Amino acid sequence: MCLLQAMHGLAVLLFPAVLMLFALAMERMENEVDQHSVHREEVDDFLAGATAPDILPTPSDDDLAGRRDTIEFDVPSAFGHAVEVPVHRAG
């Protein structure tokens, strides 16, 4: 019983420290990602000065509708073909 109480005390002392170290590591990683990411102004500048070969047409919602209805997994089933699972979305 005494060992169990000691383990609880150790967990109470270590959990906040580990949580704080994790938060600091995530903040450091976020800063690195922010430094190396592309900002919206850079994208707007590129699109303003881009020529036709630089810009690909963006797919419309109609083009993507067929892809959203089903997901096909490339996993062999007992029948020897890919398994197709319908996806139901709210709204």
Q: Where are the domains of the chain?
A: 2-86
Q: Note the pTM of the prediction, 2 decimals.
A: 0.42
Please say if the pLDDT value at position 1 is more than 70. Answer: no
Q: With bands split at pLDDT 50, 70 and 90, how would you rate the model's confidence at 42?
A: confident
Averaged confidence pLDDT in the chain? 75
Q: With bands split at pLDDT 50, 70 and 90, how would you rate the model's confidence at 22?
A: very high
pLDDT at position 29 is 95
Cβ density class 6-25: b for 16+ within 10 Å, e for less: eeeeeeeeeeeeeeeeeeee
